[in-house]
A and B are shown apart, each in its own frame.
Chain A
Amino acid sequence: MKRNRATFYTLNALPGILILVVLFLIPLFFTFSYAFHDNGKALVEIFKDEYTYRLLVFTLEEALLSALISTLIAIPLASFFSKYTFPLRRTVLTLSGLSFTIPSILVVLGFVIWYGNNGLLNAFLMKITGRDYTTLQILYSFKAIILAHVYLNFPIAFLLITNAWTEMPDTPEKAAYTLGAGRARTFIHVTLPRLTPAVLSAFILIFLFCFSSFSIILVLGGNPAYSTFETEIYRRVNINVNREEAAALSIFAFFITSVMLIITSRGRKNQRATRKEKTLEKAKGKTLVVAFLLILLILLFILPPMLSIIYRAFYTKAGDFTLRAWNDIAKGSTGLMSTAMSGIINSFLIALLSSLLSVYFGSRIALASAKRNSRILPVISSMPMATGSVTLGLGFSFLAATVGHDSIYFSYILVIAAHLTIILPFAVRTITPGAKMIPDSLAAASYTLGVSAFRTMRKVEKPILSPYKRKAFAFAFALSLGEVNATLTLSDGHVSTLPILIYRMISSYNYQGAAALGTLLLAEALIVFAIGEGGRKHAIS
């Protein structure tokens, strides 16, 4: 009977699995065929080329450093936030969750406007110091890349570690104190071992994000010396126009990412959720002052780049109020602005369609994976993560070149297919914990009432998944909305989305236009974030 049930869930997930595998294999097949073109000459050269290994070292270096700094800053803050309760605590934690939905191109734009040599921070510093030269030179350097990565990812580490720490009952710590252990000894021997899975999980997540970082490296690095696999593949396709080399480099990067995914997935264990959370102490006196100082520090780090985007959308560099960029968008005037409105519509429609599809198929795959307790399904659904989005975009562009179809609709289909392939693994990952929480006894109870497996899934199990599906939709929508890597590599001008327009405007120093579009993208990201956070969960006690 259990086998029958497992088969039912597998059959239900089969269309999604097939689409995922096909969408993943097609670009990979074309990439391989280009890489092995001319007896694999390009591939041999890539493996022999010292530059490939320099790319590997740099990619590892920036990803490791970004993950390390983000985690190290997050731990002491999480320690405070998981011990005390104070006004605005929940708000700061909710705001940290925004990092999951903020597109990286907005970080790039925010950094350029806020930290740039002619940025708002420098203008402010010049005003208060009375100097007539730039005080802070951050952008277009290695430190800019790390700072942007930390900016984008430290809140993720902060949120994950704080949540895990808050959920950890503090009875073992109390037991250690009664045994005479001091605070430091208790932290090292009791707290840290229990906290390690959460810290490691945050570290790995950030490391993988930064390993495939694209727009931050491309713009904020500002120098070909700061190249990762993703940016180098893009350069070889679009600047050097050497598709064979780009394909060969993709294969190399695919190999490296696969190895890393295998290593990192082995280290991760599913943690059992504990029901008994510890009671937080109310912050008073000095602790309350510390709490407000910490909040101020976090907000001063997080808010200015984003707020500066909104400010720059309405003010000129000289500080005069203007609606020029908005008028350009509305009128569809010349240059890049002429495509702004279509970019806004494109982005919205592509994100909507691909995220709806990803949640539809993702929820079925997640249910099958949880009900079968499958090991293979999570691996299959993670496969596109190993490829990297630039490689996927490259593969789809090879497909377009092979088919020789020049229709704009075909380009749209390819972009949606690429987005779906990129976001489906995230949708599955977001929904799977929800599917795992549904006890088997719930379906069993329904069956003993004479109700069919299909109706049980529809009426009993799916409603429990809805908060996870809503979260997955928000996450997938945000990812698709902010997607630059694959879209830029694949469409190269055919399909303009908001992030691509912003990227191009930054490249052509039209910061006002970029900020106006950035404001719209930020608004969309905030709406999506609110959708993901909204709604109540159906309790399973």
Chain B
Amino acid sequence: MPYLEIRKLEKKYKDFTLSASFGVDEGEFLCVIGPSGSGKSTLLSLIAGLDKPDGGTVTIDGKDITKMKIQERGIGMVFQDFTLFPSMNVEKNIQFGMTEKKAEKKKISDALLSLVGLEGYAKRSVSSLSGGEAQRVQLARAIAAKPKILLLDEPLSALDAPLRKSIRSSIRAIHDALGITMIYVTHDREEAFSISDSILIMHDGKTVAMGTAEELYRHPKDLFTAFFTGEGTALPAHLVFENMEGSVFFRPENAVISEESISAEMYPMHVVFPDAEIISCEFCGSDYILGLEYQGYPLLCQSATKPRRKTVSVMILKESILNLQ
């Protein structure tokens, strides 16, 4: 039985219904990803008790906490917004949810400040902190209250890219050091791939897929998951395989181009699209992403070199092609 179990959790709004079922193991780092408005933050609010569900249950370690008060759930949360208390300094913020004696509080808050890389910040006013520092203090404050599970609601979305990279690594390191169960909401696929043990994908209020980053990228179960986890091409299946229904999907790195004219008979392990026209060519550092058009359909391919011709042949390894709905 998972440590945190969400069973048929439901919340109905006027134009939106959230329904979720999944489980998280103790000490796991789960990332929840999905487009804006897919219900990620609502899901966290329901787990934390900030919102009341219309149905379903939330259990931690076998104990139903669905109707429990927020304060009694033992679920900590780091918010996207600046939620440090402006009337308290950094240290007082961290100690606010602690129940230890004064001397002990001081020891723990100093240790936590050091853990989040903010030694010497104890007496600083929270209004003097940068965005990244504020989020680190929020994290320390949430951990100080000793939660069973820590929820992080897009904590880095307001920060710039290099800072996000550095703080997300710190968060993962803290997770590994403390072994705390974390649920991390983000809309950034790369962020989720880099720090998670597993990923839950949400779409239109539903949990559509769950698995490791590799599983979801290499073997998506549907087109939404396929496109949300990376770039690729979807074509009507009958265009590629006779008698096949639905769509076929392949990643750009599985499509190879040839500037020489080739025939399908020469490459029986591949699907060949001859005479595809190059529409765009984007340099991505290590290689090029090519946008092509074949019989009116757009294709994405990856190439190590910049093509010289306007028309090329595209070869896709058959076993890398997925049949999705």
Decide if A446 touches B50 in the complex (CB within 8 Å).
Answer: no
Are A448 and B51 CB-contacts (below 8 A) given A459-B85, A459-B96, A541-B82? no
Residues in B whose Cβ lies below 8 Å from that of A448: 48, 50, 70, 75-77, 142, 145, 147, 151
Decide if A444 touches B127 in the complex (CB within 8 Å).
Answer: no
Q: How far is the CA of A51 from the CA of B96 in the complex (A)?
A: 65
Q: How far is the CA of A459 from the CA of B52 in the complex (A)?
A: 25
Q: Counting CB contacts under 8 A, is A148 at the interface? A: no
The A1-24 residues at the B interface (CB cut-off 8 A) are 1-3
Closest to A449 in B: B97
Closest to B147 in A: A448
Residues in B whose Cβ lies below 8 Å from that of A451: 71, 96-97
Decide if B81 touches A439 in the complex (CB within 8 Å).
Answer: yes
Residues in A whose Cβ lies below 8 Å from that of B55: none
Choice from A442, A444, A541 contacting B85 with Cβ under 8 Å:
A442
Task: Annotate B146-181 by CB proximity to A: 1 below 8 A, 0 otherwise.
Answer: 010001000000000000000000000000000000
Decide if A463 touches B87 in the complex (CB within 8 Å).
Answer: yes
Decide if B77 touches A540 in the complex (CB within 8 Å).
Answer: no
Decide if A444 touches B79 in the complex (CB within 8 Å).
Answer: yes
A396–chain B nearest beta-carbon distance, Å = 39
Q: How far is the CA of A367 from the CA of B86 in the complex (A)?
A: 17
Interface centre among A2, A448, A464, A538 (most CB of B within 10 A): A448
A358–chain B nearest beta-carbon distance, Å = 23
Residues in A whose Cβ lies below 8 Å from that of B141: 445, 449
The A108-149 residues at the B interface (CB cut-off 8 A) are none
Decide if B81 touches A446 in the complex (CB within 8 Å).
Answer: no
Residues in A whose Cβ lies below 8 Å from that of B305: none
A453–chain B nearest beta-carbon distance, Å = 8
Decide if B87 touches A538 in the complex (CB within 8 Å).
Answer: yes
Q: Counting CB contacts under 8 A, is A180 at the interface? A: no
Closest to B145 in A: A449
Decide if B51 touches A449 in the complex (CB within 8 Å).
Answer: no
Are A538 and B51 CB-contacts (below 8 A) given A441-B81, A449-B141? no
Choice from A441, A442, A450 contacting B71 with Cβ under 8 Å:
A450
Q: How far is the CA of A3 from the CA of B52 in the complex (A)?
A: 9
Q: Counting CB contacts under 8 A, is A447 at the interface? A: yes
Closest to B97 in A: A449
A387–chain B nearest beta-carbon distance, Å = 37
Residues in B whose Cβ lies below 8 Å from that of A446: 85, 96-97
Q: How far is the CA of A460 from the CA of B93 in the complex (A)?
A: 10
Decide if B76 touches A464 in the complex (CB within 8 Å).
Answer: no
B10–chain A nearest beta-carbon distance, Å = 16
Interface centre among A444, A450, A459 (most CB of B within 10 A): A450
Q: Give the size category of A's interface with B.
A: 20 to 34
Q: Counting CB contacts under 8 A, is A403 at the interface? A: no
A463–chain B nearest beta-carbon distance, Å = 3
Q: How far is the CA of A291 from the CA of B147 in the complex (A)?
A: 59
Residues in B whose Cβ lies below 8 Å from that of A439: 81, 83
Q: How far is the CA of A2 from the CA of B48 in the complex (A)?
A: 13
Q: Counting CB contacts under 8 A, is A452 at the interface? A: yes
Decide if A1 touches B96 in the complex (CB within 8 Å).
Answer: no
Q: How far is the CA of A460 from the CA of B96 in the complex (A)?
A: 10
The B104-118 residues at the A interface (CB cut-off 8 A) are none
Q: Counting CB contacts under 8 A, is A539 at the interface? A: yes
Task: Annotate B67-100 by CB proximity to A: 1 below 8 A, 0 otherwise.
Answer: 0011110111101011101111000000011010
Residues in B whose Cβ lies below 8 Å from that of A463: 85-87
Q: Counting CB contacts under 8 A, is B205 at the interface? A: no
Decide if A538 touches B49 in the complex (CB within 8 Å).
Answer: no
Task: Annotate B121-157 by CB proximity to A: 1 below 8 A, 0 otherwise.
Answer: 0000001000000000010011001010001000000
Q: How far is the CA of A446 from the CA of B83 in the complex (A)?
A: 9
Decide if B142 touches A449 in the complex (CB within 8 Å).
Answer: yes
Residues in B whose Cβ lies below 8 Å from that of A442: 83, 85
A441–chain B nearest beta-carbon distance, Å = 5
Residues in A whose Cβ lies below 8 Å from that of B77: 444-445, 448
Closest to A463 in B: B87
Q: How far is the CA of A439 from the CA of B77 in the complex (A)?
A: 16
Q: How far is the CA of A2 from the CA of B70 in the complex (A)?
A: 11
Are A539 and B52 CB-contacts (below 8 A) given A447-B70, A448-B75, A451-B71? no
Closest to B82 in A: A541
Q: How far is the CA of A214 from the CA of B79 in the complex (A)?
A: 52
Closest to A444 in B: B50
Closest to A445 in B: B83
Decide if B142 touches A2 in the complex (CB within 8 Å).
Answer: no
B74–chain A nearest beta-carbon distance, Å = 8
Are A447 and B87 CB-contacts (below 8 A) given A1-B51, A1-B52, A441-B81? no
Decide if A539 touches B127 in the complex (CB within 8 Å).
Answer: yes
Decide if A2 touches B51 in the complex (CB within 8 Å).
Answer: yes
Choice from A1, A3, A444 contacting B83 with Cβ under 8 Å:
A444
Residues in A whose Cβ lies below 8 Å from that of B86: 463-464, 538-540
Closest to A2 in B: B51
Residues in A whose Cβ lies below 8 Å from that of B85: 442, 445-446, 459-460, 463
Residues in B whose Cβ lies below 8 Å from that of A445: 77, 79, 83, 85, 138, 141
Q: How far is the CA of A30 from the CA of B145 in the complex (A)?
A: 57
Residues in A whose Cβ lies below 8 Å from that of B72: 450
Q: How far is the CA of A393 from the CA of B48 in the complex (A)?
A: 52
Q: How far is the CA of A439 from the CA of B81 in the complex (A)?
A: 9
Q: How far is the CA of A2 from the CA of B52 in the complex (A)?
A: 8
B19–chain A nearest beta-carbon distance, Å = 19
Decide if B87 touches A464 in the complex (CB within 8 Å).
Answer: yes
Decide if A1 touches B145 in the complex (CB within 8 Å).
Answer: no
Residues in B whose Cβ lies below 8 Å from that of A459: 85, 87-88, 96
Q: How far is the CA of A246 from the CA of B151 in the complex (A)?
A: 65
B320–chain A nearest beta-carbon distance, Å = 45
Decide if A449 touches B87 in the complex (CB within 8 Å).
Answer: no
User: What would 7 A/B residue contacts be, using CB atoms closer than 8 Å?
Assistant: A1-B49, A1-B69, A444-B50, A445-B138, A448-B48, A448-B142, A449-B97
Nearest first, the 8 A-B pairs at minimum CB distance are A449-B97, A463-B87, A538-B86, A445-B83, A539-B127, A447-B70, A448-B77, A449-B145
Beyond the given A441-B81, A448-B50, could you list 7 further A-B residue pairs with CB under 8 A, ordered by the A residue number?
A: A2-B50, A2-B51, A448-B48, A450-B145, A459-B87, A538-B86, A538-B127
